[in-house]
Amino acid sequence: MPWRALPGETPDPYRVWLSEVMLQQTTVRAVIPYFEKFVARWPTVQDLAKADRDDVLAAWAGLGYYSRARNLHACAQAIAARADTAFPEDEAALCALPGIGPYTAAAVAAIAFDQPATPVDGNIERVVSRLFAVTTPLPSAKSEIKRLAATLTPDERPGDFAQAMMDLGAMVCTPKNPSCLMCPLQSDCHAKHKGIESELPVKAVRPERPTRFGVAFLALREDGQVLLRKRPETGLLASMMEIPSTDWVDELLAADIALKAAPVRADWWAMPGQVTHTFTHFRLELLVFRAIVPVDAELTFWADASRCSWVARRDLADAALPSVMRKIIAHALKEN
Ligand code: SF4
């Protein structure tokens, strides 16, 4: 966890909320530098509310699941607009804020405000499914596990209990080879008694991700600037910056067809190999074309000039470029 209150320290709801949002679908190791960057740049929720949304998206770039960053900013603004400009303390009011779902509401209520709420993250889900030997496959078992977890939440120090359960799942009741001999719940653990702890939780077999294909165009101007485009306000990677590309479609595109979507008329050169990236619901394979273009290069109709900008190579690190776009840039420029 990037955030933990020291004994006697009053938890800061902003840091609890920020770490819980960042940790969704993301490892602790990946989150730590982002968490530190955010609290250094925006030390309070009011500071975050005042930030430019594009700056928040740029600071989030690389952490994935970008709707979290947009919701984070919207939520900060909603809190700053409240009469007391503070986080509400109860689960229901927290849940009404942008981007705060049942898990985050319960985590903030329990950890920041010591409310008797029961957050169930992946770690707690695993502990509870083993403790009660729940054999129903996930995700169908989620409501049963949540109900069982709630029966464990104590009236006293529910926040400490929630964090202890999260840590138990992360460090003792691990997905593989749980350390049952050092587990304080061993005598009550039904899965351990039955010898099925390593088989739980049962997960439904996921359908295989489909593959989509596209062609990306990296235009490098003679003065060293790269053409970027802002993605639409809604949909995948909304409002992030991108390397212009064709649509991502179900079948491989012929090069001559793809080149019609190039953002600049130029001598495009196909880079050897391809860029692959895995999103939650599909896998992406991209061919990458590169061209060196003059400073006065005109954008084509397909580029949608209103969303395009030329960015110096040295400034790309600070741009709101998601991981897949950084892969494309690295691939296209690797011989330079
Ligand atoms: Fe997990 Fe083993 Fe503890 Fe049961 S006894 S909760 S399986 S670590």
Across 243-293, where does the E strand assignment appear?
269-270, 275-278, 283-293
| Position 165 confidence tier, pLDDT thresholds 50, 70, 90 | very high
Give the Å distance between the CA of 129 and the centre of ligand 1. 10
Q: What is the mean predicted confidence (pLDDT) over 84-103? A: 94
Kindly report, residue by residue over 45-75, the tens digit of the pLDDT.
999 999 999 999 999 999 999 999 999 999 9
Looking at the CA of residue 169, tell me the nearest atom of ligand 1.
1
- Burial of 81 per CB tally in 10 Å (0-12, 13-18, 19+): exposed
pLDDT at 2 over 80: no
Average pLDDT, the chain: 94
Residue 7: the pLDDT is: 60
Global pTM? 0.84
Strands 283-293 and 211-221: parallel
Strands 225-230 and 241-242: antiparallel
Q: What is the mean predicted confidence (pLDDT) over 16-39? A: 94
Kindly report, residue by residue over 244-301, the tens digit of the pLDDT.
999 999 999 888 889 999 999 999 999 999 999 999 899 999 999 999 999 999 999 8
The protein residue whose alpha carbon is closest to atom 2 in ligand 1 is: 180
What are the CB-based long-range contacts (under 8 Å, 24+) for 312-317? Answer: 312/224, 312/225, 312/226, 313/224, 313/225, 313/226, 316/226
Q: What is the mean predicted confidence (pLDDT) over 223-236? A: 95
Residue 317: the pLDDT is: 93
Looking at the CA of residue 178, tell me the nearest atom of ligand 1.
8
Among 179, 182, 197, 202, the mutation site with the greatest number of ligand 1 atoms within 8 A of its Cβ is: 197
Other CB atoms closer than 10 Å to residue 3's CB: what's the count?
21
pLDDT at 103 over 80: yes
Q: Which residues line ligand 1 (CB under 6 A)?
A: 127, 130-131, 172-173, 178, 180, 183, 185-186, 189, 191-192, 197
Residue 206: the pLDDT is: 86
Among 172, 176, 187, the mutation site with the greatest number of ligand 1 atoms within 8 A of its Cβ is: 172
How far is the C-alpha of 210 from the C-alpha of 31, rounded, in Å?
A: 28
Report which residue type is found at 61.
Answer: A
Give the Å distance between the CA of 19 and the centre of ligand 1. 26
The protein residue whose alpha carbon is closest to atom 1 in ligand 1 is: 173
Give the Å distance between the CA of 135 and the centre of ligand 1. 15
Q: What is the mean predicted confidence (pLDDT) over 26-30? A: 91
Residue 193: the pLDDT is: 97
| Position 99 confidence tier, pLDDT thresholds 50, 70, 90 | very high
Q: What percent of the chain has pLDDT over 70?
A: 97
How far is the C-alpha of 168 from the C-alpha of 15, rounded, in Å?
A: 21
Residue 272: the pLDDT is: 94
Residue 4: the pLDDT is: 63
How far is the C-alpha of 145 from the C-alpha of 126, rounded, in Å?
A: 9
Residue 316: the pLDDT is: 96
Q: What is the mean predicted confidence (pLDDT) over 23-36? A: 93
Kindly report, residue by residue over 188-221, the tens digit of the pLDDT.
999 999 999 999 999 998 889 999 999 999 999 9
Would residue 20 show up in a list of annotated catalytic residues for this protein? yes
Residue 10: the pLDDT is: 75
Among 128, 185, 200, the mutation site with the greatest number of ligand 1 atoms within 8 A of its Cβ is: 185
How far is the C-alpha of 169 from the C-alpha of 179, rounded, in Å?
A: 10
The protein residue whose alpha carbon is closest to atom 5 in ligand 1 is: 186
Residue 242: the pLDDT is: 97
Residue 302: the pLDDT is: 86
pLDDT at 335 over 80: no
Kindly report, residue by residue over 117-132, the tens digit of the pLDDT.
999 999 999 999 999 9
Residue 246: the pLDDT is: 95
Give the Å distance between the CA of 118 and the centre of ligand 1. 19
